[in-house]
Amino acid sequence: MDVDSDDSDIEISSRNKGKGKATAKKPKAIRTEAISAQPYTWEENFARSWDTVTEDATGSLQTTVDDLQARSRRRRLLHPSGTALRRTIIRHLVLLLDLSAAMADRDMRPNRWGLTLEHARVFVAEWYDQNPLGQMAVVGMRAGLGERICSMTSSVQDVLKSISEKHKLEPSGEPSLQNAIEMARSAMSHLPSHASREILILFGSLTTVDPGNIHDTIDACAKAKIRISVVALAAEMKVCREMCERTSGQFGVVMNEGHYKDLLLELVPPPAQVGASSAGRIGGDAVSTAPKANLSADLLMMGFPTRLPHSAMAALCVCHSELKSEGFLCPRCLAKVCDVPTDCDVCGLMIVSSPHLARSYHHLFPVGAFTVVTTRAEAEADACFACARPFPPIATSGGAATGGGDGVSPYGRYRCPKCSREFCADCDLFVHEVIHCCPGCGK
């Protein structure tokens, strides 16, 4: 069989990553000669990953490895949009874990349920890190009932503790989507309208055992503006897809363990507000239709506490009734709470410390993507502006540089559109993923 050029093989694999099921077979002009040699059309979608590894002129594989790494970096960076979308910062999420017998299947190591718990731990930690004002609850689906594993809380330790008790979470029985969603909906029914309500279902079986009509439940959720997203471990179910489409959530089917983690982590950043219902597919850009004015914009009353140092007198806290000296004082009722952010147990005021608000600013004011320096004339600076390490010297022999294309700069330089400074690839990644601030602009 002919071996095609690198690009086409990478094309195939990248397109497949976003889809969970067999795609429509698009005839590719490049591969026409190969098609006649291929006996089955489903083989077209099969990515021959060994073809991407080729040796360069000197017989070394280093350039191919660097190239693949650079491409994966660029692909990650191109996805988040640089424009400021309206996002809901105060989120309430109910995590629905499937604890049915189908989760004991060993097609993912060690079994689906163990892997789910592991990834859920990472997801919970990351979610609270990115959404400090959010609250999460955990519900399990087991033996036809919905079980409350953890109630709505803003403390990451509580959630992690509740899902770490493995003996209480053994999978058995059949899952019931309707019961679990009803339980989740009732847990969120009393929340004010400015907060976003979301349900995330990690679903591993192909059936559901419901007491009534699940479409009624879906209607009720849509009316209550609850956004349901599903990550399916087995195949796609029409009911799940319909749920996600009607409530403008995201639906994805897992291909392997790594893909599972990627799908989960895509749901961590706050979703953009959508007006009409539009199906969002995980892996594509988050599209927002023209937002209606005043879409659930609210003025929230929040209290900023004063912190009691270690040297303060020991006193009882209102949340656990423990005698401790350090804590925070609610500004309205002076009750002592242990940890922020939280709702004061006494007067109900939302207590938030200013760094928590500041953590969410980067979602609202993101850094624009850097442009790629492709021509030699544009490459001016000697050293990266951010880390002050010198760039590799440009080959003085003329002609185009090797490599590059598809978002990778052949000179390893990337330019900020606002302040026109040049950065290296590592700093580009760091600025966009961790700091969310361009050093040249200083804002």
Partner 1 sequence: MQSSSSSSHQNAASSSSAHLPQNGNTNGEEKDAKSSHVLLPFLQSQSQNTLTRLYQKPSACLAVFRLLSPLERQLVMNLLWLDSAISPATMAAWVVRDRRNVYDRAIQELMKLHILVNSTTKLVLNNTFKASFRHALTGGGTSGSFGVAADERQSRMSLGVEQLDHFALERWETILHYMVSSGTGQQPERPSKGVLFLLERSALMASMYGAMQITSTGFQFLLHSPHDQLWDLLLQYLHLAQERDMDLVDVLSFLFMLSTMELGRTYTASNLTATQKVMLKDLRDYGVIYHSDNNAGCFSPTRLATTLTSSAPPLPTGRSTGGGAQGEGFIVLETNYRLYAYTDNPLQTAVLNLFVTLKYRFANLVVGSLTRESVRRALTSGISADQIISYLVTHAHPQMRKNEPLLPVTVQDQIRLWELEKNRLQSADGYLYTSFASQADYEFVLEYAHSLDVVLWEDPVKRCFFGKAEGHGNIRGFIERRTGGAL
Partner 2 sequence: MHLVVILDLSKHWLDAQSSLPFSRFLVHLQAFLNAYKAASTDSQLAVFAAAPGRNLLLYSDHEKGSLNETDPNAYPSFTLVGSTIAEKLAALYSDLEVLDEPCSLVGTLINALCYINKAITTGQCTPETDEPRILVFSVSPDLSTSYIPIMNSIFSAQKLRVTIDVCQLLGPETVFLQQAAHLTGGSYLQLEATEALLQYLTMTFLSPPSIRATLAVPIQDRVDFRAACFCHKNIVDIGYVCSVCLSIFCQPIPVCSTCRTKFPAKLVLQLKASQLPGITPQTSQASSTRAASAPSRADAPGTADFDVSMHSDPNSLPRYTRNGKA
Applying the rule CB under 8 A, the residues between 350 and 369 that interact with partner 1 are: 353, 355
Both structure tokens of 292: 């209606």
Instruction: Work out how close the CB of 131 gets to partner 2 at its nearest, in angstroms, rounded to a whole number.
Output: 12
Residues 6+ apart with CB under 8 A from 361: none
Residue in the structure block whose two tokens are 């086409």: 8
Residues in the chain: 443
Chain positions 41 to 80 lying near partner 2, rule: CB under 8 A, are none
Query: How far is the C-alpha of 409 from the C-alpha of 190, rounded, in Å?
Result: 51
**Residue 188-207 contact track with partner 2, rule CB under 8 A, x = bound:** ----x-x-------------
* Whole-number Cα distances in Å, 90 to 128, 134, 332, 371: 11, 5, 21, 32
Residue 318 binding partner per list partner 1, partner 2, none, with a CB distance cut-off of 5 to 8 Å that depends on partner kind? partner 2
Residue in the structure block whose two tokens are 């502006």: 385
Count Cβ neighbours within 10 Å for each residue of 136-171 and write b for 16 or more, e otherwise. Answer: bbbbbbbbeebbebbebebbbeebeebbeeeeebeb
Going by C-alpha positions, the residue among 286, 341, 302, 281 that lies closest to residue 133 is 341
Binding-site size, partner 2 (CB under 8 A):
75
Residue 53 binding partner per list partner 1, partner 2, none, with a CB distance cut-off of 5 to 8 Å that depends on partner kind? none
Instruction: Work out how close the CB of 352 gets to partner 1 at its nearest, in angstroms, rounded to a whole number.
Output: 12
Chain positions 407 to 436 lying near partner 2, rule: CB under 8 A, are 424, 426-427, 430-431, 434-436
> What are the start-end ranges of the E strands in 52-108?
91-98
DSSP classification of residue 40: -
Both structure tokens of 236: 């796609």
Whether the link from the prior residue into 175 is cis, omega within 30° of 0, is no
When binding is defined by CB under 8 A, the residue of 39, 59, 110, 309 that contacts partner 2 is 309
- Asked if residue 114 binds partner 2 (CB under 8 A), the reply is no
Cα–chain-centroid distance for residue 299?
Answer: 27
Say if residue 123 is exposed, middle or buried (CB neighbours under 10 Å; 0-12, 13-18, 19+): buried
Both structure tokens of 104: 């004991």
Query: How far is the C-alpha of 392 from the C-alpha of 397, rounded, in Å?
Result: 14
Stretch that binds partner 2, among 230-238, 257-265, 300-308, 372-380 (CB under 8 A): 300-308
**Residue 334-353 contact track with partner 1, rule CB under 8 A, x = bound:** ----xxx------------x
Instruction: Work out how close the CB of 270 gets to partner 2 at its nearest, in angstroms, rounded to a whole number.
Output: 11
Cα angle 364, 365, 369; round to 5: 120
Instruction: Work out how close the CB of 166 gets to partner 2 at its nearest, in angstroms, rounded to a whole number.
Output: 29
Q: Considering beta carbons, is residue 60 or 289 the nearer one to partner 1?
A: 60
Chain positions 330 to 389 lying near partner 2, rule: CB under 8 A, are 331-336, 346-350, 353-355, 357-362, 364-365, 383-389
Residue 293 binding partner per list partner 1, partner 2, none, with a CB distance cut-off of 5 to 8 Å that depends on partner kind? partner 2
Binding-site size, partner 1 (CB under 8 A):
15
Residue 339 binding partner per list partner 2, partner 1, none, with a CB distance cut-off of 5 to 8 Å that depends on partner kind? partner 1
Residue 78 binding partner per list partner 2, partner 1, none, with a CB distance cut-off of 5 to 8 Å that depends on partner kind? none
Rounded-to-10 torsion of CA 151, 155, 160, 161: -70
- Asked if residue 327 binds partner 1 (CB under 8 A), the reply is yes
Radius of gyration over every alpha carbon of the chain, rounded to an integer in angstroms: 25
Residues 6+ apart with CB under 8 A from 286: 81, 85, 271, 272, 280
Stretch that binds partner 1, among 33-41, 286-294, 322-330, 395-403 (CB under 8 A): 322-330
Instruction: Work out how close the CB of 70 gets to partner 1 at its nearest, in angstroms, rounded to a whole number.
Output: 18
Residue 389 binding partner per list partner 1, partner 2, none, with a CB distance cut-off of 5 to 8 Å that depends on partner kind? partner 2
Stretch that binds partner 1, among 204-212, 285-293, 304-312, 393-401 (CB under 8 A): 304-312
Instruction: Work out how close the CB of 56 gets to partner 2 at its nearest, in angstroms, rounded to a whole number.
Output: 23
Instruction: Provide the binding-site residues for partner 1, judged by CB under 8 A.
Output: 155-157, 307, 309-311, 326-328, 338-340, 353, 355
